[in-house]
Amino acid sequence: AALANCRVPHSAPLPHDRQVTRSALAALTTIAPPIRRGDAQKRMRTITLTVAASCLLGVACLSLPTRKNVLQASAGAALATTLPAQAAKGDTATLETTEGTITIELKPEWAPIGVERFKELINVGFYDEARFFRVVPGFIVQFGLSGDPALNKKYKAANLKDDPVKVSNKKGTLVFATAGPNTRTSQMFINFGDNGFLDRQGFSPIGEVTSGLDVALKLNAEYGEKPNQGKITAQGNAYLKEAFPRLSYIKKASLS
């Protein structure tokens, strides 16, 4: 009935509430030309069958499996299969150290840019075998120069834009070390106390230790701040093993 009612002569003015173009109007009158009342029922059966057949044909054409479709579906299924493994690289960082295990919950809502970089560094093995080269009891422990000079070279100038400081530098928070605004690269520290004065200097925590803070407090502090960061950057663990052989270090860093 709807099709039968689409009997608008080409010369008739278009209804104000229907913005129908002449080309669209021509299409409509081609589908359902003006018909006499007595032929309407017969003609409508023919039109309905034709339209239904066209729709079925269109659906069939769209739904017929082809080699390309099967390959695309297989690729999609394979991708879906890999998603859980990717999702497993989540926001819990585990540092297996020479003194025990430190677990850190990363907080993208605090510092999304910093969290993303820290996870990237873990995924490329940057922190594996990395030494805790600066330990200041009651203040912080610092790490984040790789034992591999090539990795240090790669990230040395890979500065990040600062994340706004959303939470305070409380005891147990993990934070990027910086050399000034927008200079974060790979170096990190864990706060050993409530160091709120660092907030005003732009140090934005990216996570917090959820277990193993006692382990962090046991990291070897005998060398204090003596290790030379320039030499660590250039020579890696070769320098540290010779000059500071008893430094505590990260055996393996991972995400889950």
**For 31-40, what is the mean pLDDT?**
36
Q: Say whether pLDDT at 42 is over 90.
A: no
Q: What angle do CA 53, 57, 62 make, to 5 degrees?
A: 150
Q: How many residues does the chain have?
A: 256
DSSP output for 43-64: HHHHHHHHHHHHHHHHHHHHHS
**For 92-107, what is the mean pLDDT?**
98
What pLDDT was estimated at residue 80?
Answer: 32
Question: In the structure, what pLDDT confidence band is assigned to residue 6 with cuts at 50, 70 and 90?
Answer: very low
CB 47 within 8 A of CB 6: no
Q: Which residues of 143-171 are buried (b: 16+ CB within 10 A; e: fewer)?
A: bbbbbbbebbeebeeeebebbebeeebee
What pLDDT was estimated at residue 223?
Answer: 98
Q: Say whether pLDDT at 78 is over 50.
A: no
Question: In the structure, what pLDDT confidence band is assigned to residue 44 with cuts at 50, 70 and 90?
Answer: very low
Task: Give the whole-angstrom CA distance, residue 77 versus residue 99.
Answer: 43
Q: Say whether pLDDT at 35 is over 60.
A: no
In this structure, of 45-54, 105-114, 135-144, 224-233, the range with the lowest mean pLDDT score is 45-54
**For 73-87, what is the mean pLDDT?**
33
Q: Say whether pLDDT at 136 is over 90.
A: yes
Give 142-194 pLDDT, tens digit per residue.
999 999 999 999 999 999 999 999 999 999 999 999 999 999 999 999 999 99
- Sheet hosting strand 92-97, strand order edge to edge: 134-136, 140-143, 188-191, 173-176, 205-211, 100-106, 92-97, 250-255
What pLDDT was estimated at residue 19?
Answer: 37
CB 71 within 8 A of CB 179: no
Task: Give the whole-angstrom CA distance, residue 102 versus residue 109.
Answer: 21
In this structure, of 48-52, 70-74, 129-133, 149-153, the range with the lowest mean pLDDT score is 70-74
What pLDDT was estimated at residue 73?
Answer: 35
Q: Mean pLDDT of all residues in the chain?
A: 76
**CB-based contacts of 229: which residues, under 8 Å, 6+ apart?**
133, 145
Task: Give the whole-angstrom CA distance, residue 222 versus residue 97.
Answer: 17
Task: Give the whole-angstrom CA distance, residue 150 versus residue 153.
Answer: 5
What pLDDT was estimated at residue 184?
Answer: 98
Question: In the structure, what pLDDT confidence band is assigned to residue 139 with cuts at 50, 70 and 90?
Answer: very high
What pLDDT was estimated at residue 157?
Answer: 94
What pLDDT was estimated at residue 71?
Answer: 32
CB 75 within 8 A of CB 44: no
Give 49-63 pLDDT, tens digit per residue.
443 444 433 433 333
